[in-house]
Homo-oligomer: A and B are copies of this chain.
Amino acid sequence: MFDSLKKELSRRALLHKAGYGFMGLGVTGVVGHIIKPVRTFAQAPSKEPSLPPEKKLGWAVVGLGKFATEQIMPSFAECKRSKLVALVSGDRPKAEKYAQQYGIDPKNIYNYQNYDSIRNNPEVDVIYIILPNGMHAEYSIRGAQAGKHIMCEKPMANTVEECQAMINAANKANRKLMIAYRAQYEPYNLATIQLAQSGKIGKLKSITSDHGRTLNPKDPADIWRMQKKLAGGGSLYDIGIYSLQAARYVTGEEPVAISAMMYSTPGDPRFREVEENVNFVLQFPSGVLANCTSSYGYSNTKRIQVFGSDAVLELDPATDYYKHRLVIKDKNGNQEQKIEEKNQFALEMDHLSESIMQNKQPKTPGEEGLQDVRLMQLIYEAARTGKTIKV
C-alpha cells in the first residue's frame, strides 16, 4: 500500500542528492530570495515550456468556513493561473452571498448532495477541499471521480488508509492531487530551507520547532476540532503538523526514529477526544535531531530554529500568514534577513494550476500528505508505548 509513497520519497532522495533539496526543482528559483531581489516562486524562471499568459484554471472551493472565506477566497485576486469559479456549501444563502461578492455565476453553486454533478461543469478544473479533516478523503475521492484535480487542506486525512485511497482515486482518474502545505510555498520558509541546506550555517545539527495556539471551544472553526471523528487527532493534526513539516523540509530528509510524550489537562472538556500537547523528537539519517512541540494550550507560537555548526537560524513567526521574521545568529551577532512577503496561498494555488498545465507532479503531492499522517500516527504510538519507534 505504500508503493506510491516509496516511489515519491525515492524520487525526492534523488533530487536531494542532486542538490535540489526537498523542494525539488522549485528551490533553484529560491536562491534569489537570499542573494538577489526577491522573486516569487511563480515568477521564477521556468525551464518548462511557457504557458499562455492569459490562461487561468477554474477553481471550486468546498467548505465556506473561516479559513476559506478569510484567506483562500480573497487570495485568488493575487493568482496568475487560478480563478475562483464555483462554491460548494451546505449553506445556500451564505454561498449566494460569496458568489455575488466574487462574481460567481449562481449556477456554479453546489451543495453536498449535488456535489458529484460538478463533473458536468467544464468551468471547474480544480476542487479545493477545505472541510474538517475527517471529510477530506470522501470529498477528494468524489472530486477526482468527477474528473477534477484536487487541492486538499492538511492534514490530508485522518488515517493512512484514507490517504492511500485518495492517491489511488486521483491516479485512477489521471488527475493531480496536491496537499495545501502553504509553508512550502512561502518565501521566508523557502529561504530558511535554502540557508539550511546550502552550508551557509555550517553542518546542520539540530532543529527545534514549536507550534501552539489556544483551542477555543466557542469558535465554530474550532468546535469540530474537539471531535476525533472530524479532526483525526488533536493539536498534532492541526498545528503540530507544522513542526513535523519544518523538521522534514528543513533537513530535506525523512525521519528514521521517533520518540514522543503527550499530555492533556485532566478534566478539560476540550480534550475529551483529542490531545492537548505532544512533544516529539525525530532522528534523521544525517544525524540531525529535531525537537518539536505541539499544543492547544499555549499562547500563539509558530517557530522554527535551525542549529548549524557555524550559525543558528531563527524563523519566528515561522508559519504565519504574513509578517515572518528570519534572523541569522552567529559569532558576529544577529542579522535579520529581509525577504519580500508574498501571498503564499496564491503561490500554492498557482503552483497546482501550473503543475496541471504542464502535467507535472506538484511538489507537495498526496504522498507528502500521507507521509505526515503516517508519521503522526507513529508519534502517537511512540507516546502511547513509551518506546522510540524506528520508522
Residues of A within 8 A of B (CB): 201-203, 205-206, 208, 210, 212, 214, 257, 259-261, 263, 265, 277, 279-281, 283, 287-293, 295, 297-301, 305, 307-312, 329-331, 386-388
Contact = CB atoms under 8 A, between A and B. Distances in A.
Given A210-B305, A281-B281, A305-B210, A388 B299 contact: no
B205 A277 contact: yes
A289 B299 contact: no
Contact of A261 (B289, B300, B301, B312): B289
B283 A261 contact: yes
Contact of A299 (B260, B261, B288, B309): B309
Contacts of A312: 298-299, 301
A57 B288 CA distance: 48
Contacts of A330: 299
A200 to B, nearest CB: 12
Contacts of A263: 283, 287-289
Contact of A307 (B210, B257, B292): B210
A152 to B, nearest CB: 30
Nearest to A330: B299
Nearest to A282: B261
State the majority secondary structure of interface residues on A.
Answer: strand
A307 B311 contact: no
Nearest to A310: B299
A374 to B, nearest CB: 19
- Among A203, A205, A265, which residue has the most Cβ atoms of chain B within 10 A? A205
B307 A299 contact: yes
B298 A309 contact: yes
Nearest to A202: B299
A259 B386 contact: yes
Contacts of A309: 214, 297-299
Given A291-B279, A299-B201, A301-B312, A259 B257 contact: no
A156 B291 CA distance: 27
A326 to B, nearest CB: 15
16 contacts: A201-B299, A206-B279, A210-B307, A257-B261, A259-B281, A261-B283, A261-B388, A279-B281, A279-B289, A291-B293, A298-B312, A299-B308, A299-B329, A299-B331, A301-B312, A387-B387
B205 A212 contact: yes
A289 B291 CA distance: 12
A65 B387 CA distance: 42
